[in-house]
């Protein structure tokens, strides 16, 4: 049987209401803990996507004032390969110490693949179940918020029970 992760409380039906009404609140705590911690997956936070105009000059000025460094790259780009070429030249001209110093100036890319949409397995292993599901759905080109998987094995059991009841 395929297990489907709990994204929102509608998947629980009345179980959440019954659990809070019982004297033992452990069931309620368990059900709430199994829900997604990602607020963006809740229906009330899924708004229409719209473009927000940004002033890039003001953003760059603010980043310079606050001393914010560039975010880590997921994959190697053309500038990274140019820097790797300079590191190689430094190794041949000035030796190992120069190569090590030049290598520490630029951070390595997080992924060994040159595809920005592909992540390493060790990065995916450290993600939560809901984040991994969202990444997998994006790789397949699906919208994870609209994705509702049906378990046909349970449908077969319901049909068999209905046939037994009718007989």
pLDDT tens, position by position, 49-91:
666 666 677 888 888 888 887 777 767 778 888 888 888 998 8
| Helix axes of 78-94 and 96-103: crossing angle, nearest 10 degrees | 160
Q: What is the reported pLDDT for 144? A: 56
**Quick one: tokens of 117?**
């949409």
């Amino acid at each position: 049987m395929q297990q489907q992760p709990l994204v929102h409380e509608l998947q629980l039906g009345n179980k959440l209401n019954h659990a809070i009404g019982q004297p033992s609140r452990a069931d309620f705590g368990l059900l709430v803990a199994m829900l997604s911690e990602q607020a963006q997956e809740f229906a009330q936070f899924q708004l229409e996507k719209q473009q927000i105009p940004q002033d890039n000059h003001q953003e760059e000025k603010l980043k310079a004032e606050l001393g914010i460094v560039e975010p880590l790259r997921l994959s190697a780009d053309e500038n990274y390969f140019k820097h790797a070429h300079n590191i190689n030249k430094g190794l041949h001209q000035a030796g190992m110490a120069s190569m090590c110093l030049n290598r520490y100036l630029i951070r390595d890319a997080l992924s060994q693949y040159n595809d920005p949409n592909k992540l390493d397995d060790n990065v995916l292993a450290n993600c939560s179940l809901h984040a991994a599901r969202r990444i997998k759905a994006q790789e397949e080109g699906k919208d994870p918020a609209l994705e509702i998987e049906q378990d046909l094995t349970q449908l077969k059991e319901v049909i068999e029970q209905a046939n037994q009841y009718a007989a």
